[in-house]
């Protein structure tokens, strides 16, 4: 087995001093300002059919710092400012490659507050991290150890809507190695009654994290709605209270998904899932809250990158594959299968649990894809723009 090192981010919470918090807040504002200025310049140049790349925007940044209006950009570290220009270049590269939409301007209130430092912008010695323009190291809560002798290549500092401060260190983790190959394969059907149903017959309960805090969240949101709009302290306090509840829900959800995906990847060599368009599914207003709370997209994302880490295979079966309506025993396809039907009996006499049957059909389809080296490819866009509700709508040609 060849040894390799995987780049892995370790995220920790930290508690800045007043001076550090002020410095980081200024840095966040400057990062946002530089990003918006560069985006406006590139947009205007594009309208004139001129080419502007990272090098050009970097030269612009130097010129901006020399102006009286933008001289404050020189008061913060230049490293995060250069990094945001690189991020903008990546955004345009993805846009021109048709992998993403056109870059958008960053809002002061809604955009994520973060700044990225490369090795020239921080010092990491003896477990103490000191950022540029700061005299003292950050007070980090080391909730888990970094890999031995790890040296971060980048450090990202962020503040969430609840006011919590986090630092993410990107390091090489030699402990992440491919697991021994095994022959076990599993089909995974996602749902709302049960978060996951496996082809083995196991059903994993849906914890419904949002529902547990729905009463507290509704009360906090009503309090926020009664506050006068603006930048008042009372409204900011009410907004943070709502954000803290949302953060609590998201933390529990993320923790549960990490444990679940790690278990599935460790136990199975091949994992077959369904290629769902969650973005379209949440347009169903009666199911949008439950679908968002289930976090199917986040589950898939975790499953795929962990499978890549540990040498596992993830196969996505086309969303139009009728896994719920197909009898896994005889192959008979039912004409209709409404959502309220949870068990059904095929003409061959086999009684099916709807979700277990779907998981078994997904597994069979995925193994067929793996065996022949081709199969139904995942579709990222629904034909004709129609809603892609999970396996219930017959496919229509545009």
List the catalytic residues.
189, 274, 355
Backbone dihedral region for residue 311 (phi beyond 0: left; psi -120 to 50: alpha; all else: beta) = left
The answer to whether 23 and 157 are in contact (CB under 8 A) is no
Q: How far apart are CA 42 and CA 92, in angstroms?
A: 10
Secondary structure in 3-state letters for the chain: CCCCCEEEEEEEEECCCHHHHHHHHHHHHHHHHHHHHHHHHHHHHHHCCCCCCHHHHHHHHHHHHCCCCCHHHHHCCHHHHHHHHHHHHHHHHHHHCCCCCCCCCCCCCCCCEEEEEEHHHEEEECCEEEECCCCCCCCEECCCCCCCCCCCCEEEEEECCCCCEEEEEEEEECCCCCCCCCCCEEEEEECCCEEEEECCCCEEECCCHHHHCHHHHHHHHHHHHHCCCCCCHHHHHHHHHHHHHHHHHHHHHHHHHHHHHHHHHHHCCEEEEECCCHHHHCCCCCCHHHHHHHCHHHHHHHHHHHHHHHCCEEEEECCCCCCCCECCCCCCECCCCCCCCCEEECCCCCEEEHHHHHHHHHHHHHHHHHHHCCCCCCCCCCHHHCCCCCCCCCCCCC
The residue among 144, 277, 258, 263 whose CA lies nearest residue 200 is 263
């Amino acid at each position: 087995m060849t040894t390799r090192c995987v780049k892995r981010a370790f995220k920790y919470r930290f508690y800045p001093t007043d001076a550090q918090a002020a410095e980081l807040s200024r840095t966040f504002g400057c990062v946002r300002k530089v990003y918006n200025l560069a985006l406006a310049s590139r947009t205007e140049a594009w309208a004139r059919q001129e080419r502007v790349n990272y090098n050009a925007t970097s030269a612009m940044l130097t010129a901006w710092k020399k102006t009286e209006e933008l001289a404050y950009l020189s008061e913060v570290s230049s490293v995060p400012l250069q990094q945001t220009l690189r991020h903008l270049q990546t955004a345009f590269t993805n846009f021109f490659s048709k992998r993403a939409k056109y870059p958008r301007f960053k809002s002061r209130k809604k955009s994520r507050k973060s700044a990225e430092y490369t090795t020239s912008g921080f010092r990491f010695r003896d477990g103490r991290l000191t950022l540029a323009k700061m005299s003292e190291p950050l007070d980090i809560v080391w909730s888990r150890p970094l890999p031995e002798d790890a040296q971060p290549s980048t450090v990202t500092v962020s503040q969430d809507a609840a006011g919590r401060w986090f630092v993410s260190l990107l390091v090489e983790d030699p402990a992440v190695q491919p697991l021994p190959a095994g022959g076990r394969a599993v089909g995974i059907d996602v749902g709302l009654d049960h978060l996951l149903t496996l082809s083995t017959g196991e059903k994993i309960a849906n914890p419904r994290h949002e529902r547990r805090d729905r009463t507290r969240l509704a009360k906090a949101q009503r309090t926020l709605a009664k506050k006068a709009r603006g930048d008042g302290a009372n409204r900011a306090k009410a907004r943070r209270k709502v954000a803290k509840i949302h953060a609590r829900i998201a933390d529990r959800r993320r923790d549960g998904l990490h444990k679940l995906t790690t278990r599935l990847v460790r136990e199975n060599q091949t994992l077959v899932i369904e290629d769902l368009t969650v973005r379209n599914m949440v347009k169903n207003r009666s199911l949008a809250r439950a679908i968002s709370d289930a976090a199917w997209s986040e589950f898939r994302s975790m499953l795929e990158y962990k499978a890549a880490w540990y040498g596992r295979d993830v196969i996505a079966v086309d969303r139009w594959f009728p896994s719920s309506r197909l009898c896994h025993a005889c192959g008979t396809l039912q004409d209709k299968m409404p959502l309220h039907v949870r068990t059904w009996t095929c003409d061959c006499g086999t009684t099916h649990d709807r979700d277990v049957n779907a998981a078994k059909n997904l597994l069979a389809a995925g193994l067929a894809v793996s065996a022949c080296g081709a199969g139904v490819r995942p579709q990222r866009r629904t034909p004709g723009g129609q809603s892609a509700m999970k396996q219930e709508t017959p496919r229509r040609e545009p």
